[in-house]
Amino acid sequence: MEQRGCGAWRERRQWVVFMVALVLFWSGASAQIRYSISEELMEGTVVGDIVKDLGIDLSALKDRGFRIVSGSTEPLFQVNQNDGILYVNQKIDREEVCERSSVCLINLKTVLENPLEIHYVAVEVLDVNDHSPSFPETEKRLEMSESALQGTRFQLHAADDPDSGQYSVQQYKLSQNDHFRLEVKDRGDDRKTPILVLQKTLDREALKSHQLILTALDGGKPPRSGEIRITVDVSDVNDNAPVFTKDVYSVLLNENAPLGTTVIQVNATDLDEGSNGEVIYSFANDVQGKVRKRFDLNPKTGEIIVTGVIDYEENKIYELDIQASDKGTAALTTEKSVIIKIVDVNDNAPEIEVTSFANAIPEDSRPGTTVALINVNDLDSGLNGKVLSSISEGVPFTLTPSLQDNMYSVVTKSPLDREKQSEYDLTIVAKDAGQPSLSSVKTISVVVSDVNDNSPEFSLSPYAFYVTENNIPGASVFSVTASDRDLNENALISYHIIRNGGEINKLLSFLNINPENGNVFAQKSFDFETLKTFQFQVVATDSGTPSQSSNVTINVFILDQNDNAPVILYPVSANGSAEGVEEIPRNVNAGRLVTKVRAYDADIGYNGWLLFSLQEVTDHSLFALDRYTGQIRTLRSFTETDEAEHKLVILVKDNGNVSLSATATVIIKVVEPKEAFAASDVKSSVKDEEENSVTFYLIITLGSVSTLFLISIVVLIVMQCSKPTDYSSKYLQDTNNDGTLCHSIQYRSGDKRYMLVGPRMSIGSTIVPGSNGNTLVLPEHRRASGEVRS
């Protein structure tokens, strides 16, 4: 710099010298000359040829002494004594010598002695641009609010330049920027003050500080400059509202979310600084209380948490208006909606409601009859609310969906029968399609009401009753019962006997039936000997409308009682008593048939089974009576000593429980062989005639008895077949070896025991009362005494 400066000055020296203007002022006593030099000339630089200019003889210099009067010890100028040239003795700084005066003149006084001659020389020091403008500081920090208005001014320190005139500060320049421009206030006196003017408002958020460089320039050519770095810090003003980071806040939340669940976190940012940029969150004023009960907003973090029960069924969507405010003194606020969509969870079981219900349905209802209407509801939505309803299996009911949503009818699907099942518990299950699915169950009881669809049923069909003859007139002989599977009056039975005219009607006229209980009364005693069996029908009618009835055939079998005593058929005397006289030849051999007592008993079975015995006899060694046949035979031949007449009293006894008997008296006369023979011929022919008529009579009796027996067998078989299990029946092969009954069949029915008596193998007997069999009613305890009887 100095080198360069030195070179510059050397160049300029010529130019300075060249520029010396010689002004000579001539006055009376002295002349004045004036030189102009630039400041800062090098030591020894020639100012001017002062001697010549003053018109002094050069030779006089040494002789007379020529000097410059100067007060200072170090004079600025010197005169060369040899050639009279004025030169610069030391570097002259104009600013030092003249300070800020506009014309810097240094007045020199030269003295030439002998004679004293005083000359005045003025040297004008001309300014040179040797200083750059400078600012008092190199850096400057300014603070400006971003709210500062356009045109705001800010005065800066002026730059200083010691040079004067045109070399002083002439202009300022501001570095390129958008916001500021420079204004310069000229106060004259070479003093120019720069003023920073805001030409475009500041935005701290855009740029927090602005770096400017202010340059001051002087008027030199080239100009010299000085700089100051200006930093403008923009101070914050709460001019930015918080901004939410998302345009839309939308979130799904499961219902029944536990308390404290974070739903969403909202986030708003504020570009401002400090408290102007500190954001707090809150619910907007229009958020209802019921929403505030369920959600809470953390004012600092913006988290929305669950604080209440979230029920999809109550509210499917929440729209919360949220505010974000900063903490500036005039707080700015932004609102945003947060949409919380509640997701349905399958938390509601379907509900079954029976809206109408017929609690009794007639059993004759046709399939498809509606029994109940049910309404199935599920508060959930979607699959969680989609309900499948079903009815329990195995019942004759089904569910049919109705036109209305969620409505079902319970209808019958097949015919009902109250008698099979009178009540149904229908279990209706409603199940939703959620995962896991929920279901509910409802049971309804359906009662099947009775319809008169069953006719009465007799306990037996046909009935067979065994009635002992000689019953007490007016007493109940037997009873029939019928049952009806229906209910109440449909099952209330009344009985009556069918009387449809004809012969049987006469018989039936003495039979009555109690319409309520089916007891049958006979107004008359039965007589086995006149009527052995008959049949009639009883109708049972229920009281339903229309009523139903059914009939049953009743077979009545009259049982014999031992009410007939044996009747002696032979011998019979003229006056009707059982007496007879037999004559036999004296010479008969032993074993000769004398006669045969014949008897008849109208009863049957044991009651009619006759046994013969000798009640009285004159000589036991002579005659024997066959117990079964009544034949009287000789035991031995007669001897001379035997009497001629013998009397035999024969007891004929039936086998009834209380047996009845008759007696016959036979007088046997022993005659001489010849007359006896003749007599016996006559007798036998008479006897044959008698025998023939008896035989005929017996055939008829036997025929009817066998018919009755056959009927009895058939009836018993039918009874056996129709009720095989109810009776502990068993056939017992009775090998009763008392010699009277060869085979009999005992049949047990209830507490009665029936005995079928088979034909007896009685050789040669004329009257075989039990030969066609009969049915005897033997009470159980009679068995032992039965044996005794024979």
Ligand X SMILES: *[C@@H]1O[C@H](CO)[C@@H](O)[C@H](O)[C@H]1NC(C)=O
Site residues for ligand X per CB under 6 A: 245, 267, 269, 498, 537, 539, 551, 573-575, 577, 657-658, 782
Q: How far is the CB of 781 from ligand X (least distance, A)?
A: 9
Q: Which is nearer to ligand X, 89 or 562 (CB)?
A: 562
Q: How far is the CB of 577 from ligand X (least distance, A)?
A: 5
Q: How far is the CB of 747 from ligand X (least distance, A)?
A: 16
**Integer Rg of the chain from CA:** 83
Dist. CA 542–CA 502, nearest whole Å: 27
**The two three-digit tokens of residue 372, written as one number:** 């109940």
Dist. CA 640–CA 620, nearest whole Å: 17
Q: Which is nearer to ligand X, 80 or 298 (CB)?
A: 298
Q: How far is the CB of 667 from ligand X (least distance, A)?
A: 11
Q: Which is nearer to ligand X, 90 or 275 (CB)?
A: 275
Residues 338 and 424 sit within 8 Å (Cβ to Cβ) = no
Q: Which is nearer to ligand X, 84 or 571 (CB)?
A: 571
Dist. CA 81–CA 73, nearest whole Å: 19
Residues 199 and 150 sit within 8 Å (Cβ to Cβ) = yes
Angle at 71 between CA 69 and CA 74, to 5 degrees: 95
Dist. CA 288–CA 291, nearest whole Å: 5
Query: Residue 319 — φ and ψ, nearest 5°?
Result: -120, 110
Closest CA to 392 of 407, 413, 406: 413
Q: Which amino acid is at 445?
A: S
Q: Which is nearer to ligand X, 355 or 573 (CB)?
A: 573
Q: How far is the CB of 278 from ligand X (least distance, A)?
A: 13
Q: Which is nearer to ligand X, 216 or 578 (CB)?
A: 578
Q: Which residue is nearest to ligand X (CB)?
A: 657
Query: Residue 645 — φ and ψ, nearest 5°?
Result: -135, 135
**The two three-digit tokens of residue 279, written as one number:** 């954001």
Q: How far is the CB of 540 from ligand X (least distance, A)?
A: 11
- Bridge partners for 69 per DSSP: 109
Q: Which is nearer to ligand X, 103 or 574 (CB)?
A: 574
Q: Which is nearer to ligand X, 490 or 550 (CB)?
A: 550
Q: How far is the CB of 749 from ligand X (least distance, A)?
A: 16
Q: Give the position of tokens 């000229």.
A: 186
Closest CA to 614 of 600, 633, 601: 633
Name the 3-class secondary structure at 138: coil
Q: Which is nearer to ligand X, 185 or 783 (CB)?
A: 783
Q: How far is the CB of 656 from ligand X (least distance, A)?
A: 8
**The two three-digit tokens of residue 397, written as one number:** 């009911």
Q: How far is the CB of 714 from ligand X (least distance, A)?
A: 21
Closest CA to 15 of 43, 53, 45: 45
Q: How far is the CB of 573 from ligand X (least distance, A)?
A: 5
* Cβ neighbours around 581 below 10 Å, total: 15
Q: Which is nearer to ligand X, 71 or 576 (CB)?
A: 576
What does 617-636 look like in DSSP terms, one character per residue?
ES-TTTEEE-TTT-EEEESS
Q: Which amino acid is at 92?
A: I
Query: Residue 67 — φ and ψ, nearest 5°?
Result: -145, 160
